[in-house]
Amino acid sequence: MYVARRLFEVIPVLIAVTFIVFVSVRLIPGDPARAVAGLEADDQTVEAVRKDLGLDEPLLVQYGRFLARAARGNFGVSYYYGTTVTEEIVRRFPATLLLAVSGITLSIVIGMGIGVLSAINHGTFFDRGTLIFAIAGVSMPSFWLGLMFIIFFAVQLRWLPAGGFGGWRHLVLPALTLGLFGAGTIARLTRSSVLEVLKQDYVRTARSKGLAGYRVILKHALRNALIPIITVLGLQFGAFLSRAVVTETVFGWPGIARLLVISVLDRDFPLIQGTVLWLAVIFMALNLLVDLTYSLIDPRIRYG
């Protein structure tokens, strides 16, 4: 029942997203008809292209047709590539999925690992260093961090390629650039959550029973501290998407985020609309998954 209600609530949100994107892309400077026809094309050719693309019709008519096609999973044909928008998105989605999963995995492993160690060593030099790391991770711009990685690891040391898509060596730098952003936030939140749980009576009881320290931390403290961490992970996915745009552009990663940048520069209306709508669906699906995960971590949580 809860899942069905949440899925029903998605419909008006998606309609609002389609309207905002439809209006926003038409505020981008430039004429897509001239971009398709070429800079040297005469006015008659440009008008013919505009009519062929349906850009000469009233905006409400254009929006209605776009909404009707989108409801059937048809986002139109890309002006630049000449293929369907769905084909372009499906072709590039695996690269973005690989980068996103790698970046989020690094964020969780590094952030939670450092956060737990910081909570255990509360008040020490390591704890203060963790706070500095968390602030630095959140504050550093993705493009600057990516460029620093390229200069140091690719240009100076020649350990890793500066960009492109291929084997695991091409994935290391963009995944680190994307992952360190989330690691700082997760480390700080994990530290505060674990510190709060360690003060609870059941943790002191577990220790008084002679349980090993690592079992107390993993089985009692960390599990009960996971809910706020998972909540932040779900909310941070939107930030990951925005950072992925910069990361994929810096490293020449052929994913959806870079496709969105190219489509904006080319005034490719169908591609922009389809890509943003696709990302919105992924974001809402992950938020629903985060909500359902709560009941798995804490059996006391039930949805009506």
Q: What SS3 class is residue 198?
A: helix
The pLDDT tens digits for 58-84 are 888 888 888 888 888 788 888 888 888
Query: 10 Å Cβ neighbour count for 111?
Result: 29
Q: Note whether 66 and 208 are same-domain residues.
A: no
Which residues constitute the domain of residue 246? 93-297
Mean pLDDT (the chain, rounded): 79
- C-alpha closest to that of 280 among 6, 4, 15: 15
Q: Note whether 122 and 63 are same-domain residues.
A: no
Residue with tokens 């997203």: 17
Q: Note whether 217 and 289 are same-domain residues.
A: yes
The enclosing domain of 234 has a CATH number of 1.10.3720.10
Which residues, in sequence order, are bridge partners of residue 77? Answer: 84
pLDDT of 51 above 60: yes
- C-alpha closest to that of 227 among 299, 297, 302, 292: 297
State the Cα–Cα distance between residues 143 and 262, nearest whole angstrom.
Answer: 17
Q: How many secondary structure helices (H) and strands (E) does the chain include?
A: 14, 0
pLDDT of 303 above 60: no
Q: Note whether 34 and 123 are same-domain residues.
A: no
Would you state the pLDDT for residue 217?
67
Q: Note whether 148 and 29 are same-domain residues.
A: no
pTM, entire model:
0.78
Q: Note whether 42 and 184 are same-domain residues.
A: no
The helix (H) or strand (E) run that includes residue 285 is: helix 269-297
Residues 6+ apart with CB under 8 A from 290: 230, 231, 233, 234
State the Cα–Cα distance between residues 295 and 301, nearest whole angstrom.
Answer: 5
Would you state the pLDDT for residue 208?
65
Q: How many domains does the chain have?
A: 2
Whether 84 is covered by a domain: the verdict is: no
Q: Note whether 57 and 173 are same-domain residues.
A: no
What are 288's two structure tokens?
Answer: 């629903």
Asked if residues 80 and 259 have their Cβ atoms less than 8 Å apart, the reply is: no
Share of the chain above pLDDT 90, in %: 0
Query: What is the identity of the amino acid at 201?
Result: D
pLDDT of 253 above 60: yes
pLDDT band at 44 (very low <50, low <70, confident <90, very high): confident
What are 72's two structure tokens?
Answer: 């059937």
Whether 280 is covered by a domain: the verdict is: yes
Q: How far is CA 40 from CA 28, 34, 57, in A?
A: 21, 9, 24
The pLDDT tens digits for 111-152 are 888 888 888 777 788 878 877 877 877 777 878 888 888 998
The pLDDT tens digits for 171-217 are 889 988 888 877 888 888 888 877 777 766 666 666 666 655 656 66
